[in-house]
Amino acid sequence: MRNPARLMCTALAGLALATLPVPAGGAEPGDTGRITVDPVGHVTPAGDVRLSGTYRCYGDGSEDPVFVSSTLKQHGANQSVGGTNARCDGRVHRWVNEEHQQWTAFTPGPSRVEAHILRLSERSGLPLPAFLASRERTVVLR
């Protein structure tokens, strides 16, 4: 069963990602975090997609939620793929995002993936995104 709060955060993150630019060349802003994307992703005939990589981020003393979000792009289509709760403790962690494709049909082959570490600051009463790290790269779906 899906968590409604997590779905809302993922939707807000997706909206934020659609309206904010990605740093050029996968540059990380400051020392707030780092993220990688594995060179191989997975897609099943049933439409399940799995992307993965590593991340590291640092706590800021708040209890704001932090997520690893990812977007898959192929043949002019793009779709958000899952969302992972992140632990910002300065250590390197694995992330794996999975999603069942509902509106697009991704196939094995080359694709682009954007991955972000995103903190949702709730200090103003409305969750506002703060990007801690971003990466975009070509991956091969198998």
pLDDT in tens, 75-94: 999 999 999 999 999 999 99
Q: Of the given ranges (5-9, 80-84, 98-102), which has the lowest mean pLDDT? A: 5-9
Whole-angstrom distance, CA of residue 123 vs CA of residue 141: 39
- How many folded domains does the chain comprise? 1
User: In this structure, what CATH number is given to the domain that contains residue 125?
Assistant: 2.60.40.10
Consecutive H or E run containing 78: strand 77-85
For residue 87, count other CB atoms closer than 10 A to its CB: 13
Residue 105: predicted pLDDT: 83
Whole-angstrom distance, CA of residue 87 vs CA of residue 71: 20
pTM assigned to the model: 0.76
128 pLDDT more than 50:
yes
State the chain's mean pLDDT as an integer. 83
Whole-angstrom distance, CA of residue 96 vs CA of residue 85: 10
**Average pLDDT, stretch 12-18?**
45
Domain holding 45, by residue range, is: 4-141
**Average pLDDT, stretch 98-111?**
89
Residue 47: predicted pLDDT: 86
**Residue 14 DSSP class:** H
Q: Could you tell me which residue, 117 or 45, shows the higher pLDDT?
A: 117
Read off the pLDDT of residues 29-67 as tens digits, 9 standing for 90 and up. Answer: 457 899 999 999 999 988 899 999 999 999 888 889 999
